Amino acid sequence: MNYSYKASVHLILPLATAILLIVSALLTKTKFTQDPIYVKTHQQLGICKQQFDQIIAFGIASLSETNDHVRAKLCGGDLWIDHIAESLNADLISYAHGYAIRNKYIGTYPNGMSRWDRVKTPIGRGEIHSAETQVEQIIAKSTVPKETLFVLIVDTLANKTQLAHMTNKLILHPQVNARRILMITTGVSDPDTIVASKVINDPRVEISTYDSVLFLQKMQNEHYKYGLRDNNNPCVLNTRMRCSRPERFFWCREGSIGSRAHFFLADDIIKTHYTTKC
């Protein structure tokens, strides 16, 4: 065999592998961001996203369908909290949902290009504990990165005073020093602001509140703006299409929002609190 041909093959194969990896990563990452509805509704020019090393979610999530990650998967999408972590390029540890998402090293190709994948793993046995136990688990960590966003999920029947007390523990504990906190309502309106009013007043602590109920009501009423065909009937109950196009439905199943609703909910949270002008 011609030596120059062998050399060219050795050069071409690693290059082709690298190109395939890059294309694959871009296709995966832009599943929704290349959506024409997203491009139309999202003000991308002149906007910079704030950066976080880690997102830690805690609180009462199990009572709300908005946080049901098992059912969200039925309609081919991730939870809103997953999309936030992906968009802000942060590792996610959700004690409220019982899992973590991290960048995991997979391997190195012959061309020297390293491959990392976003991997979802259960925390412990994947069990969801009380808010108090969740906070104890967070404190038990040796250190918490300085650029950490704490997301407190406030559900319909949550004990507001208890959640405020747990949040104060994270603010005051020397190993945690929670300084960036997002309180999000996923059941009914107002509990997020009620909890925020009970948290200690410290100028070093930035507390943001967000009512997901109001946004989802708006999205359901104006579903056509988000590329949805059906805003009332659950996708899994659609006998004609057999839920082959879940992105067209607001509801995945009864009481459980679909993948597009999770994505645009996360997008609105980021636009509301975690973007700045470049």
Encode pLDDT of 230-242 as tens digits.
999 888 887 676 7
Together in a domain, 18 and 73: no
Q: Could you identify the residue written with the tokens 């407190």?
A: 152
| pLDDT at 171 > cutoff 50 | yes
Q: How confident is the model at residue 7 (pLDDT cuts 50, 70, 90)?
A: very low
Together in a domain, 79 and 196: yes
- Provide the 10 A C-beta neighbour count for residue 42: 16
- Tell me the C-alpha distance between 103 and 193, whole Å: 33
Together in a domain, 166 and 263: yes
Q: List, in sequence order, the alpha helices (H) in 104-255.
A: 131-140, 160-172, 191-198, 212-221
Check residue 157 and give its pLDDT. Answer: 60
Q: How many domains does the chain have?
A: 2
Go through the chain and tell me how many residues it has: 278
pLDDT in tens, 82-95: 999 988 989 999 99
Together in a domain, 94 and 216: yes
Q: Could you identify the residue written with the tokens 């960590």?
A: 141
Residues 6 or more apart whose CB falls under 8 angstroms from that of 27 comprise none
Together in a domain, 195 and 263: yes
- Tell me the C-alpha distance between 181 and 184, whole Å: 10
Together in a domain, 9 and 129: no
Residue 14 is part of which domain span? 1-30
Token pair recorded at residue 4: 């120059």
pTM: 0.79
Together in a domain, 19 and 49: no
Together in a domain, 48 and 20: no
Angle between helices 131-140 and 160-172 (to 10 degrees): 10
Together in a domain, 223 and 269: yes
Together in a domain, 158 and 21: no
